[in-house]
Every structure is written in C-alpha cells, then in structure tokens.
Amino acid sequence: MALDSTGKISSRLEVLRQRFLERAKEDIKHLRALAEKTRCGEFSADGLLFCYQSLHRLSGSAGTFGLPELGEAAKALEKQLKVQAEELGALDDAFTHPVDIPEGFADGIDALAELVEVKSQAVAQAGNYTEEPTTYKGSQGMQVSVLLVEKGDERLAKLEKEMAPYGFSFTSVSSDDAGALGNALAQVRGAAAILCRESALSDVMSVRNKSFEESSRRRLPVICLGSDNSFQNRYRVAEAGAFAFFPDPVDIPELAERIESLAIERSANVQGRVLIVEDDAELAEHYCLVLQAAGIEAQAVSEPLHLMASLADFEPDIVLMDVQIGDYSGVTLARLIRFEPRWLSLPIIYLSSEDDPENQLEALSKGADEFLMKPVSDSYLVRSVRIRCFRARQLSELMNRDSLTGLLKHSLIKEEVEKELARCRRSGYRSCVVMLDLDHFKTVNDTWGHSQGDIVIRTLANLLRNRLRETDMIGRYGGEEFLVVLPQCEVSSATELIRGIGESFSELSFVAGESSYQVTLSAGIAAINDFTNGEDALNAADQALYERKRSGRNGVTVYSSK
C-alpha cells in the first residue's frame, strides 16, 4: 500500500485510535461488572483470567495509540493478577479452583474506567492523531549520485569525464558557495556520496554536518582526493571526517568501486520488509501504517494458520510477533517457523509486554531472537525495525553474495531465471536473460596479474549495478562470467541496453603501473518466455554468447533457434 501524505496517514491512525478506545470502553464494561462481584467476595478463576487478558491487551496497546497513562494503569492492575493467572493457566481444571481477590482491585478498575472516559473525551476534542510518523522517501533506483565539490580545481572536471562510463549521476558545486552546497545536499536522495579535493575538505565537512544536523537522514559519506599520501596527511583527512582518501594519480576503477559501496551502504537503511503477526486488528494496522509511512514494507497476519504462506509470499527481512496470538503461543509459532530450513536465520522479534527477564529468556531459548517491549512508540518502532532489517539484510548479503563482486551467487541467480519465467507466465509480460563474459580474460591475468584481473571483474560488476534498474537481477555465474535477468524487457531493448554497457566498459582504462589497458565483453541474450523452463533459457543465452565469441567477441548476439 502506498502512503503518500502524512495528513492521510494521521487521519487513518486517528480512526484506529478511536476504534481502540471504543473497544477499550467495551472491555471496561465487562471488567467493571466482574470487579463489582469482587466487592461481595465473588471472583471465579474464569473471571480472573478474563480480567487478566483484557488488562494485558490494554497495557500492551494503549501506549501505541498515544495513551501511555492508560497503559500504565492497566499494567499495574494486570500485575496484581499475574501470578494467579499464570498458575491457573498451567492447570487443566483451573475453573474449579478458588481465587484470591487482590486488595483494592475493584477500586483500581473504577479508576481505570474513569481514565478511559477522560481520555476518550480529550481525544475527541483534540482531533487528529499527534505522534507524526517519520516520513521517508524510499531510495530512487540503484543509481548513485555523486556531489562533486570543487574549489577552482580543473582536476575534478577531468575526473568527471573519466568516470562518465560508470553511470553515476554527477552534480558539481563550488565549495565557496555554502548556500548552493547546502541546497544540493538537501536535494540528494537515495544512494549518494560527496567527492572533493583536500583543499575543500573542511568547508565541505562543516556545510555537510550542519545540513544533516536537524534531519533524521544519515550523513552522506565524503571521499577526499589529494596529493600528499603521507601517514600524517591521511591522519589529518581521517580526523576531518572523510570516509576514504585517494592519492594522485587517482585509480579510477577503485574510486568508482568505493563510491558505489559507501553510497549504497549508507543508504541501505531505507529498505526493509516486516511481517507482523498480531491478532489485535487495530494494533496490527497501526504498526503497518507507521512502518509503511517510514518507507518500510509491512504486512500483517492475524491468523496463524496463514503464517507459513505469508512468509513464503512476502519473504520478510524480519518477523515481529506477539507473544500470544489468540489461542496460539508466539513461542511455539517461532519454533514452527524454524522447522523450515529456509527460515532458520530469519530474525523473529517478540512484541511483548513481558517484562520478567526470566520469562523473556525462556522465550528466547525457544527460537525468537529478541524482545521489543510493548507499548512501542511510533518512532521507536520505526528506528528499531529499520536497524534490525538493515542487520538482517547485511547478514543475508554475506550468505548470498559473491565476496569479490557483491553480486548474487551462481545458484541464486539461476533460481531467479526460474522465478522470472513463472512471473512472466502469471503476468504475461516478456523478460530477457543475458549471459556476459569478459573477452580474452586469461590474457589479462597472464599479462597484468591476477589481482588486476580481480579489479576488472569488480569494475564490470559495479558498472552493471549502476546501469541496470533496481528490479534487474545480476549474478556472478562463474569466474569471468555474469548472468543478468531483465524483467519486463523486450529483446530489442535488452540488446540496446547491453550493447551500451559493453561500449562503456570497453572505453574504461585500467592502469597497471606505468601502463594502461582496455578490456571488452561479449554477451548472449535470450527471451525467457520462449522456453518451457529456466534451464533452457539459460542454455539459449549461453549458446548466443558462444556464437558471439566465435564471430569476433566485443558485442551482443541474440539467440535464434534457426
């Protein structure tokens, strides 16, 4: 669900809060009736368990709806019943057991009812929901923006030209114009980095630090270029806050790679997918709205029977799970999720008002990873979810990505071809698979050394990442062989795109000592839809690549069945 305006979100959150209060009033009616009975010494196990569950729900959710005092009052009453409720919960014949009435319980319920009434009136008068969710505009594609900050230095303009084939989007600003630099920083979105020479570093750092001071965005990484490569100078640059230093003459492929990795790493917190397992409909919708408004994809499951199907469909980075979902225990559900090897490393976080460390430990030992204490405020929810998604993604990147290039590993990119074919069949669109291979790469290794060969491989990986869309999938298929899946792309567009990338790649100069050299690539393309399975589409792209190699390399060949 796309959420486009904060006004719209706050009015939806307000509706949820009203619904929560309506339900709280209903619960309070039942609680009061039961509490009245305690005044005449009547309190059954049945009644105690009902009161305990109602109070537990109120204490866990009131804070989230901006009513923390109500949550605290309910929590205090819940604690009065906790020990007895847990003992009764463990018995088969609980309902026949006599129970003790905690002192002042009925008065506490009366006070709670009054508080609910007061809060309802205050909310009705105040109107709109007040805790504004953090709005965050998501990352815009995979293209990396570079802010070039110049101080009358021609060298940066030359550098911009040399780096043109890598596909970064450059914006130049003068370090003498703090206003323009501030504006440029304010406008930058998504993955980005600042590039400047040493002479402009202190001006850049002060404008950058000031301009990010009040915003919740992460500061852009600064990469500094300079002539003095001594330890003292590098120390000075590091002390000023730069993230990387490149001495003259600048190693362009290395610089491109560093810009890419720093920019993407720093912007990575934008994304995340969270599955919320919660049977309280208002609470689940509230969490979803707040997270979605912050740029995090969120989906809720209220019925545990659908949990496994939702996991498979949505493929979340993390799961937020209530400790009790109707009749189901969250602890047991966490264990059940782990039955499937695919979800062994999926972080499961309990949303719980359980504040007893012993009980928390018990739950953790059964398959969950940590606790988020209810009630959670909107901003805390967003921040903690964002950090956890970021960590989860880092971990899965480590497991699924090739260490030299950061691209998908062989088996995963192969799987993507199969998945794409299934998507094409479902949606009726056309997609392509491309096999790319560096030309005469053995000669590169033999002439310039294996580590130079590695730089060439990494450079092509970066170029592909920069030039392809975020929805395209790129993998390292073998040593110097790459596989790309281009969803919703006709063969003609794929050919044009890959030809352009091949041309840019062939224009890059790799520097080895005093010498420099260039490398070309060959590609084979096949339309995924023309095949009955992914394996056949892959073989076709491979065959087209072979044809290309035979007919002179450095170019693109489309598979033809003739």
Ligand X SMILES: Nc1nc2c(ncn2[C@@H]2O[C@H](COP(=O)(O)OP(=O)(O)OP(=O)(O)O)[C@@H](O)[C@H]2O)c(=O)[nH]1
User: Least CB distance from residue 252 to ligand X, whole Å?
Assistant: 18
Q: At what angle do helices 252-267 and 450-467 cross, to 10 degrees?
A: 50
Q: Shortest approach of ligand X to residue 549 CB, angstroms?
A: 5
The closest of 321, 282, 285 to 304, measured between CA atoms, is 321
Which run of H or of E encompasses 364? helix 357-364
- Per the listing, tokens 């398959």 go with 367
Site for ligand X in 385-404 (CB under 6 A): 404
CB neighbours (10 Å) of residue 333?
A: 22
Contact 60, 330 (CB under 8 A): no
Cis, bond preceding 316 (omega within 30 deg of 0): no
**What are the structure tokens assigned to 457, written together?**
């491989």
Q: Given the complex with ligand X, which of 79 and 409 has the nearer CB atom?
A: 409
Based on CB atoms, which residue is closest to ligand X, 383 or 549? 549
Structure tokens at 199: 């002479």
Q: Please, which of residues 503-562 interact with ligand X by CB under 6 A?
A: 549, 553
Q: For residue 301, what are the contacts with CB-CB under 8 A and spacing of at least 6?
A: 275, 276, 277, 278, 307, 310
At closest approach, how far in Å is the CB of 484 from ligand X?
A: 17
- C-beta of 417 vs 519, nearer to ligand X: 519
Q: Least distance in Å: CB of 485 to ligand X?
A: 21
What is the x/- site pattern for ligand X, positions 7-46, by CB under 6 A?
----------------------------------------
Q: Name every residue whose Cβ is closer than 8 Å to that of residue 384 and which is 6 or more positions away in sequence.
A: 372, 376
CA gap 267, 289 in Å, rounded: 22
Minimum gap (Å) between residue 477 Cβ and ligand X: 11
- Give 234's Cβ-side CA count (13 Å radius): 8
CB closer to ligand X, 393 vs 440: 440
Residue with Cβ nearer ligand X (59 or 459): 459
Least separation in angstroms between residue 526's CB and ligand X is 19
Element (H, E) at 337: helix 330-337
In the region spanning residues 401 to 430, those forming contacts with ligand X, defined by CB under 6 A, are 404
**Closer CB to ligand X, 139 or 405, in the complex:** 405
Task: Single out the residue of 218, 219, 213, 237 nearest to residue 227, CA to CA.
Answer: 237
| String of contacts with ligand X for each residue 84-123, x by CB under 6 A | ----------------------------------------
Task: Tell me the closest approach of the beta carbon of residue 545 to ligand X, in angstroms.
Answer: 9
* Residue 128 DSSP symbol: S
Nearer to ligand X, 257 or 437 (CB): 437
Instruction: Work out the end-to-end distance of the chain between its first and last CA atoms, rounded to an integer number of angstroms.
Output: 46
Least gap, CB of 446 to ligand X (angstroms): 7
Q: Using CB atoms, what's the residue nearest to ligand X?
A: 479
Cβ pair 208, 159 in contact under 8 A:
no
Residue 37 or 440 with smaller CB distance to ligand X = 440
Smaller CB separation from ligand X, 419 or 549: 549
| Cβ nearer to ligand X, comparing 179 with 552 | 552
Cβ 370 vs Cβ 350: under 8 Å: yes
Rounded to the nearest whole angstrom, what is the least distance from the CB of residue 303 to ligand X in the complex?
48
Binding to ligand X (CB under 6 A) within 428-487 occurs at: 437-442, 445, 450, 453-454, 457, 479-480
Say how many residues touch ligand X, by CB under 6 A.
Answer: 16
* Minimum separation from the CB atom of position 443 to ligand X (A): 6
**Distance between CA 3 and CA 8 in Å, rounded?**
8
Binding residues for ligand X (CB under 6 A): 404, 437-442, 445, 450, 453-454, 457, 479-480, 549, 553
